[in-house]
Amino acid sequence: MLGQFMESEIREQPDVLHRASESYFETLKDAVSGKQYEMVLLAARGSSDNAALFGRYLIEVFLGIPVSLAAPSVLTRYGSHVKYRNCLAIGISQSGAAPDVSEVIASLRADGHTTIAITNTEGSRLTREAEFSLLLGAGNEKSVAATKTYSASLLAMYELARALGADLPSPAGLIPTEEWVNHALEAANESSGAIVRCSPIFSLGRGFEFSTAQESAIKLMECALIACKSYSTADFEHGPKALAGHGSAAISYGGQLTDLASHGCLIVPAPEVPSNIPETLTPIWHIIFGQWLALQSARARGLNPDDPRHLQKVTETR
pLDDT digits (tens, 9 = 90+) for 38-48: 999 999 999 99
201 & 66 share domain = no
308 within domain boundaries? no
- Give residue 1's pLDDT: 81
3-state secondary structure at position 168: coil
If asked whether residues 15 and 157 sit together in one domain, one would say: yes
Residues 87 and 124 reside in one and the same domain: yes
Q: So what's the pLDDT on residue 317?
A: 52
Please state, in angstroms and rounded to a whole number, the distance separating the CA atoms of residues 188 and 180: 12
Q: How far apart are CA 93 and CA 60, in angstroms?
A: 22
Section 240-245 average pLDDT: 72
Mean pLDDT value of segment 113-131 = 96
Torsion over CA: 180, 183, 185, 187 (sign): negative
Residue 134 lies in a domain: yes
pLDDT of residue 292: 98
Residues 6+ apart with CB under 8 A from 185: 292, 296
Amino acid letter, residue 34? G
Asked whether the CA dihedral 209, 289, 216, 151 is positive or negative, the reply is positive
Position 251 pLDDT exceeds 60: yes
In a domain, residue 313? The reply is: no
Q: What is the pLDDT of residue 311?
A: 45
Average pLDDT of 83-99?
92
- The answer to whether residue 70 scores a pLDDT higher than 60 is yes
Residues 194 and 102 in one domain: no
pLDDT band with cut points at 50, 70 and 90 for residue 288: very high
| 198, 118: one domain | no
How far is residue 200's CA from residue 203's CA, in Å, rounded to a whole number?
10
Query: What was the pLDDT predicted at 235?
Result: 76
Please give the share of the chain, as a percent, with pLDDT higher than 90: 76
CB 303 within 8 A of CB 310: no
| Residue 178: CB atoms within 10 Å | 11
What does pTM read for this prediction?
Answer: 0.94
Asked if pLDDT for residue 76 goes beyond 90, the answer is: no
296 and 210, same domain (yes or no): yes
Does one domain contain both 129 and 77? yes
Query: Is 44 in the same domain as 79?
Result: yes
Cβ atoms within 10 A of the Cβ of 199, count? 13
Closest CA to 279 of 229, 212, 180, 188: 212
User: What would the mean pLDDT of 297-304 be, rounded to a whole number?
Assistant: 95
Question: Which residue range(s) make up the domain with 206?
Answer: 178-300
Q: Is 92 helix (H, G, I), strand (E, B) or coil?
A: strand
For residue 111, give Cα distances in angstroms to 43, 89, 123, 252: 16, 11, 23, 42
Burial class (CB in 10 A: 0-12, 13-18, 19+), 232: middle
Please give the residue that has the higher pLDDT: either 308 or 66: 66
Q: Range with the lowest mean pLDDT among 3-7, 133-137, 160-164, 177-181?
A: 3-7
H-run or E-run covering 75: helix 73-76
Note whether 154 and 195 are same-domain residues: no
* Lowest-pLDDT choice from 62-66, 144-148, 258-262: 258-262
Q: What is the CATH number of the domain that holds 146?
A: 3.40.50.10490
| pLDDT above 60 for 318 | no
Whether residues 210 and 241 fall in one domain:
yes
In the predicted model, is pLDDT for residue 187 greater than 80?
yes
- Does the pLDDT at position 313 exceed 50? no
Whether residue 316 has pLDDT greater than 60:
no
Residues 112 and 185 in one domain: no
Q: Could you report the per-residue pLDDT of 20-65, keeping only the tens digit for each?
A: 987 999 999 999 999 999 999 999 999 999 999 999 999 999 999 9
Above 60 in pLDDT, residue 310? no
Distance, CA of 219 to CA of 146 (rounded, Å): 9
CA distance 120 to 152: 9
Q: Taking all residues of the chain, what is their mean pLDDT, rounded to a whole number?
A: 92
- Buried/exposed 32-55: b ≥16 CB within 10 Å, e otherwise: beeeebebbbbbbbbbbbbbbbbb
Look at the chain and report how many structural domains it folds into. 2
Q: Is the dihedral of CA 12, 15, 21, 27 positive or negative?
A: negative
Whether the predicted pLDDT of 258 surpasses 70: no
Which stretch of DSSP H or E encloses residue 253? Answer: strand 249-253
pLDDT of residue 263: 81
Q: Same domain, yes or no, for 46 and 141?
A: yes
pLDDT at 255: 63
